Amino acid sequence: MALGSCLGAEPSGAKPNIIFILTDDQGYGDISAHGNPVLKTPNFDRIHSESLRFTNWFNSPTCAPTRSALLTGRHEFRNGITHTILERERLDPKVTTLPQVLKGAGYHTGIFGKWHLGDEEAYQPGRRGFDEVFIHGGGGIGQSYPGSCGDAPGNRYFDPAILHNDTFEKTQGYCTDVFFNQAVKWMDSQRKAGPFFCWLATNAPHGPYIAKPEDAALYEGKGLGQDTEQFFGMIHNIDANLGRLLDTLKQWDIEKNTLLVLMNDNGGTAGVKVFNAGMHGAKGSPWLGGTRAFSFWRWPGTLQPAECKALTAHIDAFRTFASIAGVSLPDALLEQSAEGRNLMPLLKDPAAAWEDRHLFTHVGRWPKGTNPDDSKLNNCAVRNERYTLVREGARNPKAKKVDASWQLFDVINDPGQLTNIADQQPGVVAKLSAVYDEWWTSLKGQVSLNEDAVGPKINPFAEKYWKQFGGGPTEADLKRMDPAKAKTFEAGRKTAK
């Protein structure tokens, strides 16, 4: 029976509240419902059981790239994002973002947690469609790199200083609790005023692996190693917060008018050695283990719990959320998001016809100042529904020849990518490699957008923090920086004293 006939309501144009939750560096296998033999995640499992689940969903291999694709409907390289630092994580200011589209449909928009698409003022989420902003800087709490990418100085997972709109707040508690609590507080203030869009992106369980002691204790003595104990403890804390959120939505009586989407941003990290759902590879690789993600869509009364095996990806979120909000995208935004698709047919019927497609992966991260074309065939992949063509490539992008060849895998019959069948299927290799070449050529003028960018002498978050609270960089801060940057910071620190 077509599932569409079981729907309680028509999802297109329904304008539900939308809560999008994105965890950081949690893998597809880091959920007990997916078979993890150690980790217990009862609330992830509950959402899993109550959701339409895209089981063949793919994101990018690392953090900022995935966020960029989700928010714009196109591959991150088209937005100038080829890394997670060095100004190469900055989202092209000319593109239109999902919260901008939803605001046009009457949504109130808020972001809580991780942004990681540019820390300079012009790139901040408040200028990209979010009404309410409650974020840390850089790619993680306490992270700081030369240039623009960095968090408030001295930040830790406990009691972090968080940028709330344009002012830092010194919070109390564990970071994940802080982000969920603030998001719930904001949603409470918005739920009677019209539909809201809440982007809740935790920095956990990204390293450094620091859990609440009581959460980490649940996994001690199991021979996992300290990193994995802490990592699983961090996921346990996210799971507890998910349970509280579900209870709150029920208490507010808005479950049936709220679409909750739960996703991880890229392949697994500290949990991979315990369980990787039979996949090869991890975060930062072009293998399935580096890009496959869970994608749960929970909307009681509208979406029937089921599995959808269609080939889907982060680039599909933009058009789908716009459709749910009743937005008819103009030609310019249809062109921007041309790589993505509207998932509405699958939301109505997970078994609906779904034309085969090509998805492209490239890890990026080539050394700054080098020609992207020199790294065209390094750590990349192209896939369709049945086959994945993978090339790990030369580790040195300046090498004159690539010291690896294309490897082909039938991922329907060999999801673990164990048997390279490139020699048996030369025609498939030729076809997919030609498609990849065509795609790479189409990136001209986009992939290089941030390659030559020069960052500021002082991290914007650090500068804003010191302006608000006084002080300057510590000796520890200076030691982490390259000598040229440290000299500038040292002068500022002495001036502040």
The predicted structure's pLDDT at residue 5? 36
For residue 363, give the nearest of 60, 106, 128, 104 by alpha carbon. 60
What does the alpha-carbon distance between residue 469 and residue 431 come to, in Å, rounded to a whole number? 59
The predicted structure's pLDDT at residue 488? 56
What does the alpha-carbon distance between residue 358 and residue 288 come to, in Å, rounded to a whole number? 14
> Cβ contacts of residue 440 below 8 Å, gap of 6+?
376
Q: Is the pLDDT of residue 458 over 90?
A: no
Q: Which tokens hold the place of 162?
A: 């968080």
Taking only the tens place, the pLDDT of each residue in 273-301 is 999 999 999 999 999 999 999 999 999 99
Residue with tokens 């690539």, as numbered in its chain: 402
Region of poorest pLDDT, from 301-310, 407-416, 478-487? 478-487
Q: Bin 332: left if φ > 0, else alpha if -120 < ψ < 50, else beta.
A: alpha
pLDDT tier, 161 (very low <50, low <70, confident <90, very high otherwise): very high
Q: Is the pLDDT of residue 485 over 60?
A: no
Question: Would you list the domain boundaries of the chain?
Answer: 16-348, 359-442, 460-496
Write the burial class of residue 364 (CB in 10 Å: 0-12 exposed, 13-18 middle, 19+ buried).
buried
CA count, 13 A, side-chain hemisphere, 406:
26
- For the chain, the distance separating the N- and C-terminal CA atoms, rounded to the nearest angstrom, is 72
Q: Is the pLDDT of residue 491 over 60?
A: no
Taking only the tens place, the pLDDT of each residue in 64-93 is 999 999 999 999 999 999 999 999 999 999
Q: Which value, in Å, is the radius of gyration of the alpha carbons in the chain?
A: 22
Region of poorest pLDDT, from 116-125, 198-207, 353-362, 453-462? 453-462
**Mean per-residue pLDDT, 396-407:** 63
The predicted structure's pLDDT at residue 14? 82
Q: What is the DSSP letter of 63?
A: H
Q: Which tokens hold the place of 108?
A: 């109130």
The predicted structure's pLDDT at residue 372? 97
88, 450 contact by CB (below 8 A): yes
Identify the three-state secondary structure at position 456.
Answer: coil
The predicted structure's pLDDT at residue 480? 55
Beta bridge partners of 258: 17
The predicted structure's pLDDT at residue 416? 97
pLDDT tier, 438 (very low <50, low <70, confident <90, very high otherwise): very high
Q: Is the pLDDT of residue 139 over 80?
A: yes
The predicted structure's pLDDT at residue 12? 78
What does the alpha-carbon distance between residue 454 and residue 368 come to, in Å, rounded to a whole number? 11
Residue with tokens 């599932």, as numbered in its chain: 3
Q: What percent of the chain has pLDDT over 90?
A: 89
Reported pTM: 0.93
Q: Is the pLDDT of residue 457 over 60?
A: yes
Region of poorest pLDDT, from 79-83, 174-178, 186-190, 491-495? 491-495
The predicted structure's pLDDT at residue 472? 78
The predicted structure's pLDDT at residue 123? 98
State the amino acid at position 236 in one-letter form: H
Q: So what's the architecture of 359-442 in CATH? A: 2-Layer Sandwich (3.30)
**Mean per-residue pLDDT, 450-479:** 86
What does the alpha-carbon distance between residue 313 and residue 19 come to, in Å, rounded to a whole number? 18
Residue with tokens 């729907």, as numbered in its chain: 7
Transcribe 242-297 into DSSP letters: HHHHHHHHHHHT-GGGEEEEEEE-SS-STTTTT--TT----TTSSSHHHHEE-EEE
**Mean per-residue pLDDT, 126-153:** 96
Identify the three-state secondary structure at position 381.
Answer: strand
Most confident segment among 4-18, 91-105, 388-402:
91-105
Q: Which tokens hold the place of 248?
A: 């709150």
Write the burial class of residue 239 (CB in 10 Å: 0-12 exposed, 13-18 middle, 19+ buried).
buried
The predicted structure's pLDDT at residue 497? 39
State the amino acid at position 361 in one-letter form: T
> Cβ contacts of residue 246 below 8 Å, gap of 6+?
43, 46, 47
What does the alpha-carbon distance between residue 38 and residue 362 come to, in Å, rounded to a whole number? 32
pLDDT tier, 495 (very low <50, low <70, confident <90, very high otherwise): very low
**Mean per-residue pLDDT, 306-313:** 98
**Mean per-residue pLDDT, 226-235:** 98
Residue with tokens 């479950």, as numbered in its chain: 255
Q: Is the pLDDT of residue 13 over 70?
A: yes
Identify the three-state secondary structure at position 324.
Answer: helix
State the angle between helix axes of 175-190 and 226-252 in degrees (0 to 180), rounded to the nearest 10.
10
Beta bridge partners of 260: 19, 298
Task: Name the fold adopted by 16-348.
Answer: Alkaline Phosphatase, subunit A (3.40.720)
Q: Is the pLDDT of residue 489 over 60?
A: no
Q: Kindly compute the dihedral angle of the four CA atoms of residues 30, 31, 34, 38, in this order, to the nearest 10 degrees.
A: 80
Indicate the average pLDDT of the chain.
93
> How far is Cα of residue 302 from the mean position of the Cα atoms in its chain?
26
For residue 64, give the nearest of 28, 22, 30 by alpha carbon. 22
